[in-house]
Amino acid sequence: MTKYGYGRVSTITQELEVQIQALQDENCDVILTEKFTGTTTRRPVFDELMSRIQAGDTLVVTKLDRLARNTKEGIEVIEHLFSMDVKVYVLNVGLLENTTMGRFFLTTLLAVAEMERNLIVERMQEGKAIAKQREDFREGRPKKFDKKHLDNAMKLLGSNSYKEVEATTGISVATLARERRKRKENKLIND
């Protein structure tokens, strides 16, 4: 009988350390983790875990939403584990049991988790819609260098190579070339 721990975060920039520590504190024999969005059905590490787990084993997760994207999938995953005689232990909830009350509790928790995710998405979309109304709105990552820095770099390019300007300003050759090309195109349009 093996005690498996499974941790997942949705983006590459998120960290797994908190989940790993919690799973270690729970004395899991094997801990599998992945950085994969919960909005996709393809989760290679989770799929590997499901093929390895056997009757009598225990699956430990920190939160229920680490297992599934939505209520329907969560119920399917946990029912599959129950049918294999695998125990499911959720650290912030406790042991999920294959009983009428256990299934009711599971369905309710999964529905609440899905609702919370949907509310977060709605709030983000509302915030973005409001932000788009601003005249200075720009979608995407903010620019690393402002106009003053780029103007200085373009002046330096008059008497220096791209590599020399990159070393002096910290602005990459690709950014310098793109800015120079953009300014030449704008000059042609403005003339």
Q: Report the 10 Å Cβ neighbour count for 117.
A: 15
Residue 189 phi, psi dihedral angles, 5° rounding: -70, -40
Please list the active-site residues: 10
* DSSP3 helix / strand / coil % (the chain, rounded to 5): 55, 15, 35
**What is the identity of the amino acid at 113?**
A
Exposed (0-12), middle (13-18) or buried (19+): which is 171, by Cβ within 10 Å? Answer: buried
